[in-house]
Structure 1
């Protein structure tokens, strides 16, 4: 289903002429002069449109699955970014405040403040953007980041890890880990092209999630949509990249 979204590891301009791509890049740079997040919002819109196109069936697009895809990729972008930042600095993960945990099943997971900051502790974190849209749509029932993080910590290495706790009628079509494995290698060239700065990448996914929460508000309540995004994001932010690229 996902193979046609971006093409496997092809350049982001695969379906555009080089001239058109250059014009788009120039327009984005001009927009950034007055709006520092213009490139993130445009990249988010492009991502959502490609996902909508790739996930559309004869019955339309399953909104819960689209939300789960964005939450899963957003979460994984956090651990991917902080590990790449540590590597670029020539420092160990622990020197950067990231703790790796090995579970009894032989799995490895990553925890720490740098990951949590991208997930939920800054103005442009995933949680902040999701909660902002939930509020914009008239609710103050925000996802409980601390509770979700605690639940995830208690399920590391177990069968409940990465299983979003949402009502049956709003379950996505697949598990977050499968969305990450299937889509991250295909999405990464787009993210690298639009967002060179590692610490900004989760914000692009946050803007994309905002778009879909608003788009799907008549199908799934914004508060529940926000919870679904975070239920997928938090466990995927703990994931060992070896599980994605295996």
Structure 2
């Protein structure tokens, strides 16, 4: 049974992947340090909650990066698509291969960084196709965006609720990694650092599922932009 995670005296580790973009690795360390501090209570940090929050923020970072990449005409987004669809529950969702690029298909995608770290530390990672199928099959329903935890465990809030942390982190993230395409990488590296700290204490395969269930959901969930959105981002949002 998972429980509380007490911080060790040593800081987060850099993880297996090298820094693909200037500042992303520093931003990843900042993200984890800030979240460890803000989510700590007298018993430590609840890892399922932290994994859910990091996954949710990583997914939102993928949406921001994709919309900015399309808006700016970045070469890596040429020919990729993104559209907004409505759900039966009244929510709107962004779907398309533009979001899948930073989420699961680019060299330093969130999935690549998270699954790579889990594998490195002996975790048995879930099937990526099943993760996407689960998200698509629950889109617009009551179960959409609810991570699948180990029996008897849960998080303190939903991925959607943890998106409220985005604005409070952005000033520090932007200072270290100013470009939106760096942000999914930064959150992926923060999760790598968490896995390095949690290795041997938690099932990293289960945590990978929690992270990705959260990230896939929030990468699709269409929400109002943060106040400090990238230039040109708002014009693309409605398309």
Question: Which TM-score tier does this pair reach, normalised by the shorter chain?
Answer: 0.7 to 0.9
2:11 matched residue in structure 1:
none
Q: Is 1:48 aligned to 2:36, yes or no?
A: no
Q: Is 1:148 aligned to 2:95, yes or no?
A: no
SS in 2 for 1:171: coil
Say whether the 8 Å CA contact 1:126–1:205 is kept in structure 2.
yes
Say whether the 8 Å CA contact 1:68–1:228 is kept in structure 2.
yes
Equivalent-residue separation in structure 1 for 2:140 and 2:115 (angstroms): 29
Larger radius of gyration: 1
Say whether the 8 Å CA contact 2:150–2:206 is kept in structure 1.
no
Equivalent-residue separation in structure 2 for 1:200 and 1:128 (angstroms): 15
Q: 1:210 aligns with which of 189, 192, 195?
A: 192
Distance 1:241 1:44, change over 3 A: same
CA RMSD across the alignment: 2.4
Return the structure number with greater helix share.
Answer: 1
1:171 matched residue in structure 2:
154
Q: How far off is 1:49 after superposition?
A: 0.9
Q: How far off is 1:36 after superposition?
A: 5.1
Say whether the 8 Å CA contact 1:63–1:219 is kept in structure 2.
no
Q: 1:185 aligns with which of 156, 167, 179?
A: 167
> Mind listing any 5+ residue stretches in structure 2 that lack a counterpart?
1-17, 228-239
Deviations 1:112-150 (A, max 9, x none): 1111111111220011111111111123x2232221111
Deviations 1:198-226 (A, max 9, x none): 22210100110011112122332111111
Q: Is 1:77 aligned to 2:61, yes or no?
A: yes
Say whether the 8 Å CA contact 1:143–1:230 is kept in structure 2.
no
Answer with 53-62 or 79-88: which moved more: 79-88
Q: 2:48 aligns with which of 52, 64, 68?
A: 64
Aligned residues: 208
> Mind listing any 5+ residue stretches in structure 1 that lack a counterpart?
1-33
1:162 matched residue in structure 2:
145
Say whether the 8 Å CA contact 1:64–1:171 is kept in structure 2.
yes
State the TM-score, normalized to the length of structure 1: 0.77
Equivalent-residue separation in structure 2 for 1:96 and 1:123 (angstroms): 16
Q: How far off is 1:152 after superposition?
A: 1.0
